[in-house]
Amino acid sequence: MPEFFIYADIIGIIAFSISGFLIAIKNDLDILGILIASALTALGGGIIRDTILSSAPFAFTSLYPALTLIVTILIAFIFKVYKKPSIERKLMFVISDTIGLVAFSITGAILAIHADYNFFGIIILSFITAVGGGVTRDIMINQVPTVLISDFYGSIAVIVALLLAGLELFDSLNEVTIVSVAVLSIILRLIAFKRGWHLPKLN
């Protein structure tokens, strides 16, 4: 499971680095701003997660998080992602943000399960890992955090946590079931975006 956690973490960092990069481009940030926005998006949630778990943040003790972030940003520059048409950039953002959301929801839930957290703890840690970096980024660029207004966004993290907690309860948590949850959650999030699903609002 630790090996699988690292794979999921790398996927999440790559995906959120791209989404942070695209948000920075959309808001006309300079190179330093792009780096900060990407780093907050990709690493912020994990740092908050590890702090809650009372352990040294993975991003500060392991080489691969920062290395993955830098390599991803460099590739984005090399392939001139910032020059893509706005519609193409939006699609790329939605896909990368969805993959990052699901990947980090999984890593948060897995660590909570291994720390013997209850259902509530699993949901909260999964949620914070998934959206913590994005919320920090959005606050920095002075916009309402996506999780508060976006279609079915934070709900995906909760769904992932519930499914993984349920699988653990029935002793069915393994690589195959985790990948199945990931695929199902990504599809659900993309369908929700396409159809404009929202949670009910008070009028």
Helix count (H) and strand count (E) of the chain? 9, 0
How far apart are alpha carbons 143 and 130 in whole angstroms? 18
CB 189 within 8 A of CB 159: no
Contact in structure between 27 and 141 (CB atoms under 8 Å): yes
**Per-residue model confidence (pLDDT) at position 83:** 87
pLDDT at position 2, please?
A: 65
Neighbours of 111 (CB within 10 A): 25
Q: What was the pLDDT predicted at 5?
A: 86
Using 70 as the pLDDT threshold, list the residues of the chain that sit under it. Answer: 1-2, 151, 203
pTM: predicted TM-score of the whole model, two decimal places:
0.93
